Chain A
Amino acid sequence: VGPSILRIQGFLIGIIFILIPTHSLAQGTELLPYREFPLIGSRNAIWIAAELHLMFAAFVLAIPLFAVVIEFVGYFKKEERWDRLAKDFAKLLPVSYAATALFGGLLTFLLFTLYPKFMAYLSDIFAPTMWLYGLLFFAESGTLYIYWYSWDRLKGKNKWIHLLLAILLNIFGTAVMFIGNAWATFMMSPAGINETGKLVSLWEAISNLTWWPLNIHRLIANLTFGGFVASAYAAYRFLAEDDPTRQAHYDWMGYVGNFVGVMTMIFLPFAGYWFGIEIYRFNAQMGVTLMGGALSFLWVIQAILIAAVFIGSAYYIWIGMGRIPGAERYQRWLPAFSWVLVLSFAIWATPHTLVASLEEAQRIGATYHPLLTFLGIMPAKIAVVNVVIILILVSFLLYQRANREVVKGKTLGFLVIAIPVLLALGNLAVGWKSYFITTAQRINLTIWTFFIMFAFIVVIYILNFISLKGARSLGEIRWGEMPPRSQYALIVVAVSAVWLMGLMGYARSGSRLNWHVYGIMEDASKEAWLPSLGEATIMISIIVLLFLAIMAFIFWITGLVEKEVG
Chain B
Amino acid sequence: MRPSLKLAAVALLVTGFYSYFGNTIPQARWEPPKKKEISKGMSPLELASAGREIFLGRGCAVCHSINPGEERRGPNLAGVGGRKDLKYLAESLYNPSAIVVEGFPDIMPPANRPPLNLTDEEITAVVAFLQSLGGKPTVKIGDITPPVAVARREAPQMGIDKPEALMEKYACFACHKVGEKGTQVGPPLTGVGRKGQDYIRESILYPGRVVTQGYQNIMPPDLGQKMTALEFETIVRYLEGLK
What residues of chain A have their CB less than 8 Å away from a CB belonging to chain B? Answer: 194-196, 200, 235-236, 239-240, 280, 283-286, 288-289, 292-294, 297, 300-301, 304-305, 308, 355-358, 360-362, 365-367, 439, 488, 491-492, 495-496, 499, 513-515, 518-520, 522-523, 528-538, 540-541, 544-545, 548, 552
Contact = CB atoms under 8 A, between A and B. Distances in A.
Contacts of A308: 14
Contact of A534 (B16, B27, B72, B233): B27
A439 B18 contact: no
Contacts of A367: 72
Contacts of B19: 534, 537-538, 540-541
B56 interface: yes
Nearest to A555: B4
A515 B115 contact: yes
A293 B26 CA distance: 13
Given A285-B109, A301-B18, A518 B114 contact: yes
Contacts of A514: 32-33
A515 B25 contact: no
Given A283-B115, A365-B67, A519-B115, A292 B153 contact: no
B230 A195 contact: yes
29 contacts: A194-B160, A194-B230, A196-B153, A235-B7, A240-B3, A240-B4, A284-B108, A284-B109, A293-B59, A301-B22, A358-B62, A365-B67, A366-B70, A496-B18, A499-B18, A518-B115, A519-B113, A519-B115, A532-B29, A533-B25, A535-B29, A537-B21, A537-B22, A538-B19, A540-B19, A541-B16, A545-B11, A545-B15, A552-B4
Contacts of B107: 280, 284-285, 288
Given A280-B107, A285-B115, A495-B10, 11 more contacts: A200-B233, A239-B7, A285-B59, A294-B30, A356-B25, A491-B11, A513-B32, A513-B115, A515-B114, A519-B113, A552-B7
B12 interface: yes
A526 B1 CA distance: 47
A283 B110 CA distance: 11
A300 B28 contact: no
B25 A300 contact: yes
B201 to A, nearest CB: 12
Interface residues of B, number: 50
A433 to B, nearest CB: 20
Contact of B29 (A195, A513, A518, A529): A529
Interface in B102-161: 105, 107-109, 113-116, 153, 157, 159-160
Contact of B26 (A360, A365, A366): A360
Interface in B26-49: 26-33
Contacts of A239: 3, 6-7
A355 B63 CA distance: 14
Contacts of A292: 62, 73
Contacts of A532: 27-29
B61 interface: yes
B225 interface: no
Interface string B73-109: 1000000000000000000000000000000010111
Contacts of A495: 10-11, 14-15
A380 B108 CA distance: 26
A563 to B, nearest CB: 16
Nearest to B107: A284
Nearest to A512: B115
Contacts of A284: 105, 107-109
Given A283-B115, A514-B32, A297 B7 contact: no
Nearest to A280: B107
B149 to A, nearest CB: 13
